[in-house]
Chain A
């Protein structure tokens, strides 16, 4: 028994005496002993700032601060910021300005900002960015956070309240309404999975393989089993034999390794014990005998005939092969005046949501399983758990807690969900498991790294004649979303510009690296980087303006693309014209001094996949609306997920608008497989369009019942009943009016529950008949253009992005503030992917930077001002004309930055990330070549 120290902590003004171990961090004591879970654990080593609290008024990382050191000190946590029920002005500013998305960084961010304004009430933008630079945010791009701090004084008056409730007016769609969950997120009350503490709960952990490719000869768990506090250990032989994955045609991974491990960090065993420290000690005591096998890390080498075979079922390690031919590309190139071909290489990046994955599983007295998890897809998690545990889906309840960001990394079932369920069954106790930040890189399913060979043919006037693309998609050891990523790599290329002839060769190759999965922009950023780079280079070669060339070839509304995708609304030209005007493009492109540059990129994405991941006849989105008995409150139940992108808010706005009642009356319950009807979840940018349509339909059902009831009460024909501003009235005689709640209550009194249900499936028959034609189909497509300006330090190669100007066709926005937040966040994330981020491996397949100090995310100091615009558009298939923005907005960014660098130094860097070293090397090569020519 280790020694305890009795310490006194003043936390938020209250004195606590707590017995702590010397090694306990302040974060642990605050969260576990005092129940103050507002401070979050994002990295555990002081890199991310999510754990920030104030120590005697100054911000500190509570994760690298011993609790004993806080003895007799004053601590302020987010829970202590509001006083007497009054929010701190900063909290109000964060709500009102849309500065919150997933909310995981919010407590740390607000406290860091508080420390700043306490010292300096009117900080400059530079001082704000500096002051917040130790708190990372992956969602917002910092733009709206900086804005909140700039304007905090406007919220000092207690009478000034952020528009939490929305206007009394029932017009919700198109309004900058604050998020449904912003109050609980800004006060630290929002519960994320790791904030859940169940009675008698155990903790679990996973043993990782220390080799990239090896046969498991034996596993001896005897020493670990006798360690006090260890309750259960599972290895491959203890778990079901059923393989799983994402796409049924590629179920190829096991819960725990059966006979061999396929990448460094692969899962070998799982332990449940009384606490995480005991789990870690137990893992160290498990003895595994391996026989090392030859490993392969490079996809080209992996395809060779003599390469080690990783999974028997994929000859030459080729897991997916796409061979698409549309039109006659050879003829297209023959018709061109200029043909350029080049190779572009992407980077292996990670979603890196601020919240690491976490799951808590519990079996109840009826032998039913409940799993709390941070996920984008409660429905798919339940589906896989049902398959793997061989129990009916109805006996599993998956509850999505608040989710601290996903970006695709939480779009599939994860080992924590499965192992915690198994360990909970084994021990009869609840089990919590969470990923460390390092685990996030080994198990988090980052972006597929693609090597893209792109060949484009163009007429002298800029008209595209032909495109040929080959993508080698490095996928790691298992399939995950790989098949889909590989098809997406090709399917989205012909959606932006009219391409008369197109050929795509895709190879998804398995290697002994951690498996890749879905990540924001799924499969598209690297080919888009290649395409946008070449387009600008060819324009320049032909003496044409890159924006003119894009406008010339831009997709038009109501067009079928060469790969048979149905484009409905499309305002790409308007986006291009908007950014040209707003950025001052015509005065800048090709005219800036050496080292300064401006670049353009375009992008776009599907508004939800046209087909489900596995065969299912169920509607993709469903909704139930239940009106409370008193008619006052409308509760919306949807299986979709709010992972920070704002789905709960947008869906509530759609319901409020449809019902003609105020936004404040709408309460939403989402992502709970028991209480909410099936929804495929938050992936492929589907929720606004698909979930929105289902919610709208459910609200229309309610309208029908309200109309009938009111017609009876007002003694008028039903078609004269109108609902608006919380009132129900006679359109022909507006004086004849009833409050909406009264009508709803009357319905309950006479007919019982007032319920509405809605569902949505994409139109039937989307896409062509060729193999893989379903991937890329969607009811609608977003379009976006982005202009970026950079300063290149030509002595060191360092790139400073100085501004972004972006315009989006996302249909008609439901919530413009949320739209801007998505766009700003997308841009900041892709700025990081373009310039900073890359997972680096050693020769044995071990990651050299599985942390947030060497895997570098952009800070508030790195992200420049972002000027986002929305162009007029209306998508008939979307609710109130809306489509997606979250993924489409990422896609122009790499090209825009790369092209700005090209404009600045006259050299294209064709390999991501575009690091200072690569730029400097190219500049030196160019200088040497020039010197040679001069000699």
Chain B
């Protein structure tokens, strides 16, 4: 690994000042992506700024109508949080399929979002949950909706001087629920071949509002707007679900790589979308 200078600020403002004065500096959270990228020469850095000691980044707080998750919270910490258990059990199921126990103890939510790899898990569900991220810099603070944050594979709208500090997830209405379906080649420690996150606000089996977000089938999560719109104000019968899944499949823009072909990924989207929806409204039985 190429050499770099290491900084470990104790305050967010200090980190912000460093980012402002050291262009090209890299932020280090859990390091599970950054270290591999540095070692492989995929990224270079003269300066690495550790976020380890910044207290604001490590808390999970309940607010009136939302939950604020510090960007530095590890996935393991999120899984252990009573607040998350109470309000967002769907995030626990994402944690279950996210990565190995070792990685979950280092990888942070903020890191997963900022790495923005096409097969990332949390950006998909957080987009479905209409989360917003807060970006801090010496110049000020701004909020960006999760759906606008990733721009492409490994590319986000975060400016070089900015630090992602928290993820705000709005509390769901009482009858709303969300679900994440991920397909992977083996049962643990495996990257997504394709994934689907669905958010539904239900009135019985009738859909008040829906969002369907697709993962690993485009450079960044795909908001399958037409598929979701089809569900709106409808009774979620198997046929309606199938039609929505078909639209989701059409919204996917996958590539062929070592993990799967584009064609297979489209098929997966069709199946996973139906699975998520059927599970959420309580249908069982074979799809198609």
Does B160 sit at the interface, judged by CB under 8 A? no
The answer to whether B35 and A66 touch across the interface, beta carbons within 8 angstroms, is: yes
A residues 94-117 in Cβ contact with B at 8 Å: 112, 115-116
Q: How far is the CB of B38 from chain A (nearest CB, A)?
A: 8
Given A45-B36, A853-B191, check contact A65 B106 (CB 8 Å): yes
> In the assembly, what is the distance between CA of A861 and CA of B96, in Å?
12
**Whole-angstrom distance from the CB of A66 to the nearest CB of chain B?**
6
Asked if B55 is at the interface (CB within 8 A of a chain A CB), the reply is no
Question: B residues 69-107 with Cβ under 8 Å of A?
Answer: 76, 96, 99-103, 105-106
A274 at the interface (CB under 8 A from B): no
Instruction: Let me know if A91 is at the binding interface, CB within 8 A.
Output: no
The answer to whether the Cβ of B190 comes within 8 Å of any Cβ in the partner chain is yes
**A794 and B286 in contact, given A858-B186, A862-B186 (Cβ under 8 angstroms):** yes
Q: Is the CB of B105 within 8 A of A840?
A: no
**Quick check: is B63 within 8 A (CB to CB) of the other chain?**
no
Interface 9-mer from A17-25, A498-506, A539-547: A17-25
Are B183 and A859 closer than 8 Å at their CB atoms? Answer: no
The residues of A that contact B39 with a CB separation of less than 8 Å are 44-45
Closest Cβ of chain B to A584, distance in Å, is 25
Quick check: A134 and B5 within 8 Å, CB to CB? no
> Do residues B3 and A854 form an inter-chain contact, with CB atoms below 8 A?
no
Chain A nearest Cβ from B266, distance in angstroms: 11
Q: A133-B100, A133-B101 are in contact. Are A66 and B28 (CB under 8 A)?
A: yes
Instruction: Give residues of chain B (175-207) contacting chain A, Cβ–Cβ below 8 Å.
Output: 183, 185-191
Contact between chains at B50 and A68 (CB < 8 Å): yes
The stretch that binds A, out of B124-132, B133-141, B234-242, B254-262, is B254-262
User: A residues within 8 A CB of B103?
Assistant: 46, 61, 134
- Contact between chains at A277 and B35 (CB < 8 Å): no
B187 lies within 8 A of A23 (CB)? no
Chain A: number of interface residues, binned into ranges: 35 or more
Contacts of A115 in B (CB 8 A): 101
A interface footprint on B245-288 (CB within 8 Å = 1, 0 otherwise): 00000000000011111001001100100010000000000111
Check: B64 CB closer than 8 A to any chain A CB.
no
**Cβ of A129: which chain B residues have Cβ within 8 Å of it?**
188
Chain A neighbourhood of B2, CB < 8 A: 23
Judge if A5 is at the interface, Cβ distance under 8 Å: yes
Q: Is there contact, CB below 8 Å, between A796 and B188?
A: no
How many B residues have CB within 8 A of the partner chain?
47
Minimum CB–CB distance for B276 against chain A, Å: 13
Select B264's contact among A131, A133, A920, beta carbons within 8 Å: A920
Q: Does B101 contact A134, Cβ atoms closer than 8 Å?
A: yes
Closest to B34 in A: A64
Partner of B3, one of A23, A55, A66, A795: A23
A935 — which chain B residues lie within 8 A by C-beta? none
Instruction: Count chain A CB atoms within 10 A of each CB in B2, B267, B275 and give the residue with the most.
Output: B267
Residue of A5, A848, A917 with most partner-chain B CB within 10 A: A917
Measured between alpha carbons, how far is A66 from B39 in the docked complex, in Å? 12
Knowing A22-B3, A22-B4 touch, does A61 contact B102 (C-beta < 8 A)? Answer: yes
Residue of B nearest to A854 (CB): B258
Q: Which residues of A contact B264 (CB under 8 A)?
A: 916-917, 920
**Using an 8 Å CB-CB cutoff, how does the interface string of B18-53 with A read, 1 for contact, 0 for none?**
000000000010011001101100000000101010
Chain B, range 99-123, C-beta contacts under 8 Å to A: 99-103, 105-106
> Are A68 and B35 in contact, CB atoms less than 8 angstroms apart?
no
Q: Is there an interface contact between B31 and A66, defined as CB atoms closer than 8 Å?
A: yes
Bound-complex Cα distance A130 to B101 (A): 8
Q: A853-B191, A859-B186 are in contact. Are A917 and B260 (CB under 8 A)?
A: yes
Contacts of A796 in B (CB 8 A): 183, 267-268, 271
Contacts of A150 in B (CB 8 A): none
Near B by CB (< 8 A), chain A positions 73-93 give: none
- Shortest distance between the CB of B1 and any CB in chain A (Å): 4
Q: Does A47 contact B (CB under 8 A)?
A: yes
Neighbouring B residues of A68 by C-beta, 8 Å:
6, 8, 50
Would you call A815 an interface residue if the criterion is a C-beta within 8 Å of the partner chain's C-beta atoms?
Answer: no
| B102 close to A60 (CB less than 8 A) | yes
Q: Is the CB of A848 within 8 A of B258?
A: yes
* CB atoms of B258 and A59 under 8 A apart: no
Interface centre among A64, A849, A859, A915 (most CB of B within 10 A): A64
Q: Is the CB of B287 within 8 A of A840?
A: no
Q: Which of A25, A134, A859 contacts B187 (CB 8 A)?
A: A859
**Residue numbers in B under 8 Å from A47 (CB-CB):** 189
**Distance of A847 Cα from B50 Cα, bound (Å):** 34
Give complex CA distance A156, B288 in Å.
54
Q: Chain B nearest CB: distance from A901 CB in Å? A: 16
Is the CB–CB distance between B50 and A69 below 8 Å? yes
Q: Are A64 and B31 in contact (CB under 8 A)?
A: yes
Judge whether A49 and B102 touch: CB under 8 Å. yes
Residues of A within 8 A of B257 (CB): 848
| A58–B105 touching, CB < 8 Å | yes
Task: Let me know if B105 and A59 touch, CB within 8 A.
Answer: yes
Q: Provide the bound-state CA to CA distance between A190 and B129, in Å.
A: 50
Query: Is the beta-carbon distance between A861 and B186 smaller than 8 angstroms?
Result: yes
Nearest-neighbor residue (CB-CB) of B258 within chain A: A848
Task: Give the complex CA separation of A915 and B261 in angstroms.
Answer: 12
In the bound complex, what is the Cα–Cα distance between A350 and B102 (angstroms)?
Answer: 25
In the assembled complex, how far is the CB of residue A742 from the closest CB belonging to chain B, in whole angstroms?
Answer: 54
- Cβ–Cβ contact A856 & B186, under 8 A: yes
The answer, yes or no, to whether A288 is at the interface (CB within 8 Å) is no
Query: B100: which of A21, A49, A862 is its contact (CB, 8 Å)?
Result: A49
Q: How far is the CB of A105 from chain B (nearest CB, A)?
A: 13
Check if B102 sits within 8 Å of A46, measured CB to CB.
yes
Are B187 and A862 closer than 8 Å at their CB atoms? yes
**A2 touches B (CB below 8 Å):** yes
- List the interface of chain A (C-beta within 8 A of B): 2-3, 5, 21-23, 25, 44-47, 49, 52, 55, 58-61, 64-66, 68-69, 71, 112, 115-116, 129-131, 133-135, 277, 794-796, 798, 836, 840, 848-849, 853-854, 856, 858-862, 915-917, 920
Q: Could you list 23 A-B pairs, sorted by A, with CB under 8 Å? A: A23-B3, A46-B100, A46-B103, A52-B102, A58-B76, A59-B102, A61-B106, A65-B31, A69-B28, A69-B50, A130-B101, A130-B188, A133-B189, A134-B188, A796-B267, A798-B183, A848-B258, A853-B190, A854-B258, A856-B185, A859-B189, A860-B188, A861-B187
